[in-house]
Amino acid sequence: MPDHKPAYNQTLVGERTALIRTSLARLRQLRKLTREEFLADPDQYAIGEHHLRRALEA
């Protein structure tokens, strides 16, 4: 029986999936803030933007 290799890099897919899950978990934490709390702190906004970008680019 021939040795079949996947047509994709399993390690890379696993790493990217972990990155997406981590970023989504951080976004879920930010979701607990009220709109006013979120917008009042520029760092919270930046953190949210960062994790959204990481998830989208993964």
For position 5, what pLDDT does the model report? 81
In this prediction, residue 1 carries a pLDDT of 60
Q: What is the DSSP letter of 41?
A: -
Tell me what pLDDT residue 27 has: 97
Kindly list the domain boundaries of the chain, sorted by start residue.
26-58
Closest CA to 57 of 14, 16, 8: 16
What is the pLDDT, as a whole number, of residue 3?
A: 76
At residue 54, the pLDDT reads 97
User: 52 and 23 in contact (C-beta within 8 Å)?
Assistant: yes
Tokens of 26: 């951080």
Residue 49 structure tokens: 């933007």
What are 1-58's pLDDT values in tens digits?
667 888 999 999 999 999 999 999 999 999 999 999 999 999 999 999 999 999 999 9
